Amino acid sequence: MDTIFKINHISAGYRRQAIIKDISLEIKKGDFIGIIGPNGSGKTTLLRSMSRVLLPLKGNIMLEGKDISGTNLKEFCQRVAFVAQDTAINFPFSVLEVVLMGRIPHLKRLQAESKKDIAIAENALIMTDSLYLKEKSIDEMSSGERQRVIIAKALAQEPILLFLDEPTSHLDIGHQIQILDLLKRLNRKNNLTIVMVLHDLNLASEYCNRIVLFNEGRIFKEGLPREVLTYQNIEAVYKTVVVVNDNPISSKPYVVLVSKEK
């Protein structure tokens, strides 16, 4: 697979205080990468740097061989989409109106959406099994429906690379599987490259072809789920006792928590 995104020794943080330090990572076309690690380890800071929300203090980030800091923002947003953990929409837009916001990087200033843009938005809703919601108000939806719509908005950008920050947070297990099945389907059928931050180690194991384990602002381990999700790595980073078995259905690593109380 070809490398489409490359992080070269970046450090980044807030008020010139580095949260992540000397991070290097290559993302190949078709990857489905999960970024895991304890709270405060730097996962979201990395994702914000990769999506140009946050400028690195050191190092550089390359998209298809070009430094993203020198790339026109509109051009960057035509190639990369970012789904934040909490996306606030404080006006009762219809679902179609929300998804059409994803077409903004492809429009000139004050240009109205064309029939082509509407068709792309509706196709994004079809891909996320949400077309039946297109006339519904965004503030009248369940969290699972809303998350599918926000992902559809990102897909309407027609990106080659999709970043997601904890896309299953606040969702019940049924909606978690629904969202991750959707992302896996887009990864396989549309060859969409995906990088997402996750807290659930078992979901990362099941859905991701590569996992990046963060600890104290640095990459502790990166590789296949079986290489990263060992009890030694997890206990070293999370400071808790676990047992790692094979999932009886998928044979992927499955992490079992062990209570310290008898």
Residues 41 and 148: their CA atoms lie apart, in Å, by 28
- Say if residue 114's pLDDT is above 70: yes
Closest CA to 150 of 113, 125, 178: 125
pLDDT above 70 (res 88): no
Asked if residue 50 lies in contact with residue 163, where contact means CB atoms within 8 angstroms, the answer is: yes
**SS3 category, 30:** coil
Q: How far apart are CA 114 and CA 79, in angstroms?
A: 20
Nearest to 105 by CA among 72, 130, 138: 72
Reduced to 3 states (helix: H, G, I; strand: E, B; else coil), residue 61 is strand
Q: What is the mean pLDDT of residues 107-133?
A: 92
Alpha helices in 110-252 (DSSP H): 115-127, 143-155, 173-189, 201-207, 225-228, 231-238
When pLDDT is cut at 50, 70 and 90, the band that residue 1 belongs to is low
The model's pLDDT over 165-219, given as tens digits with 9 standing for 90+, comes to 998 887 889 888 988 999 999 999 999 999 999 999 999 999 999 999 999 999 9
Alpha-carbon Rg for the chain in angstroms: 19
Q: What is the pLDDT of residues 216-256, one digit of tens each?
A: 999 999 999 999 999 999 999 999 999 999 999 999 999 99
Per-residue pLDDT reduced to its tens digit, 137-157: 998 888 888 888 999 999 999
Report the amino acid identity of residue 82. F
Q: Are 256 and 242 in contact (CB under 8 A)?
A: yes
Pick the CATH number of 3-257 from 3.40.50.300, 3.40.1000.10, 3.30.70.120, 3.40.640.10: 3.40.50.300
Using pLDDT thresholds of 50, 70 and 90, give the confidence band for residue 91: confident
Token representation of residue 86: 């909490």
Domain ranges in the chain are: 3-257
Q: Measured between alpha carbons, how far is residue 163 from residues 49, 84, 108, 150 in Å? A: 11, 8, 25, 12
Q: 143-155 and 115-127 are packed helices; what angle lies between their axes, rounded to 10 degrees?
A: 130
